[in-house]
């Protein structure tokens, strides 16, 4: 009974975060479109004026971001981490420096082996450092979209290496960070929080979804809108493919994976390194969905 109650609580949090619990004349598609417009209007606002320390840090941040867009190895990510560390030391009160450091530390683990207990322990050290950097950013700006997004992403990543069974217990905490992103900038990083929602839902067993009457289809309009705004963010396509396959729409899922495999990662310059990783993920998902190696169906 306690487990069932906890499951209902998790779903209640999810419904509230997505704005789907309350009766409303606004459809999910309309809400996704409205929130996208909110983010577009935010992009039109001029950036705040930086002080001298922040300006110096911003130069380093730009160098780190340019390098991060093309990394292909752990050593290259280390160079990105070093730049963000210098930026954070240069302007310790600048949340963007800490956000960049957190993201680089989290991305570092995707280039690390994770077969043995020792290797997983090393990964967890990086994730602990990433959380610490996020907390520095959140102390400066509790509503920072970047800090809240990366904290939720780090927690999801940590579950995979610590104890997947903790995933369900972590969902309310993960979504609380994502909710803050939606309040400020719903389509931050090409709809990153909706990828987080999709990943969180993927942790839920089918029996739980059926028990509550919840359908993963509720998340799809947000991912659809994100891809309408930027079709070449491959992460959105791999997450959507997973959701579509879960809904029994295998052909649409495979179409997303085919797009990822057949398009140039550099079509989205700032995400080309991440896009290359998603191309590898697409091969794994293709095998999972079809039982065959890409491009066989």
Q: Where along the chain do its domains lie?
A: 2-44+51-229
Phi-psi region of 174 (alpha: psi -120 to 50; beta: other; left: phi over 0): alpha
**pTM confidence score:** 0.84
Please report how many Cα atoms fall inside a 13 Å half-sphere around the Cα of residue 113, on the Cβ side: 5
pLDDT at 160: 78
What CA–CA distance (Å, rounded) separates 27 from 12? 19
Backbone angles phi, psi at 293, to 5 degrees: -80, 145
Q: For the residues 21-44, what does the mean pLDDT come to?
A: 85
CB atoms within 10 A of CB 240: 25
Q: For the residues 91-119, what does the mean pLDDT come to?
A: 95
Q: Which residues, 6 or more positions from 135, have their beta carbon under 8 angstroms from its beta carbon?
A: 151
Task: Grade residue 6 by pLDDT with cuts at 50, 70 and 90.
Answer: very low
Q: For the residues 12-29, what does the mean pLDDT come to?
A: 60
Instruction: Encode pLDDT of 46-72 as tens digits.
Output: 989 999 999 999 999 999 999 999 999
Q: For the residues 119-145, what does the mean pLDDT come to?
A: 97
pLDDT at 213: 56
User: Quick one: tokens of 43?
Assistant: 């992009």
- Can you name the CATH fold of 2-44+51-229? 1.25.40
User: Quick one: tokens of 70?
Assistant: 């093309």
Q: Interhelix angle for 167-184 vs 145-162, to 10°?
A: 170
pLDDT at 177: 92
pLDDT at 26: 81
């Amino acid at each position: 009974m306690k487990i069932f109650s906890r499951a209902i609580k998790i779903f209640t949090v999810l419904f509230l975060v997505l704005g789907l619990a309350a009766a409303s004349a606004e459809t999910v598609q309309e809400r996704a479109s409205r929130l996208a417009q909110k983010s577009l209007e935010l992009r039109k606002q001029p950036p705040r004026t930086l002080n001298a320390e922040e300006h110096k840090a911003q130069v380093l941040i730009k160098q780190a971001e340019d390098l991060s867009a093309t990394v292909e190895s752990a050593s290259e990510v280390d160079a990105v981490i070093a730049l963000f560390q210098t930026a954070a030391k240069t302007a310790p009160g600048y949340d963007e420096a800490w956000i960049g450091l957190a993201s680089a530390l989290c991305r570092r683990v995707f280039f690390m082996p994770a077969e043995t207990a020792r290797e997983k322990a090393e990964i967890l050290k990086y994730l602990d450092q990433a959380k610490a950097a996020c907390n520095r950013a959140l102390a400066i700006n509790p509503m920072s979209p970047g800090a809240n997004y990366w904290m939720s992403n780090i927690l999801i990543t940590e579950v995979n290496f610590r104890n997947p069974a903790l995933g369900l217990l972590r969902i309310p905490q993960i979504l609380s960070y994502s909710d803050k992103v939606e309040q400020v900038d719903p389509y931050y990083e090409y709809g990153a929080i909706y990828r987080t929602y999709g990943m969180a839902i993927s942790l839920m067993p089918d029996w739980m979804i059926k028990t509550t009457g919840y359908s993963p289809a509720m998340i799809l309009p947000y991912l659809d809108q994100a891809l309408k705004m930027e079709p070449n963010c491959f992460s959105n396509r791999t997450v959507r493919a997973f959701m579509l396959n879960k809904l029994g729409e295998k052909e649409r899922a495979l179409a997303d994976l085919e797009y990822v495999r057949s398009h140039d990662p550099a079509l989205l310059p700032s995400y080309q390194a991440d896009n290359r990783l998603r191309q590898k993920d697409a091969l794994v998902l293709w095998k999972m969905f079809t039982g065959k190696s890409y491009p066989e169906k």
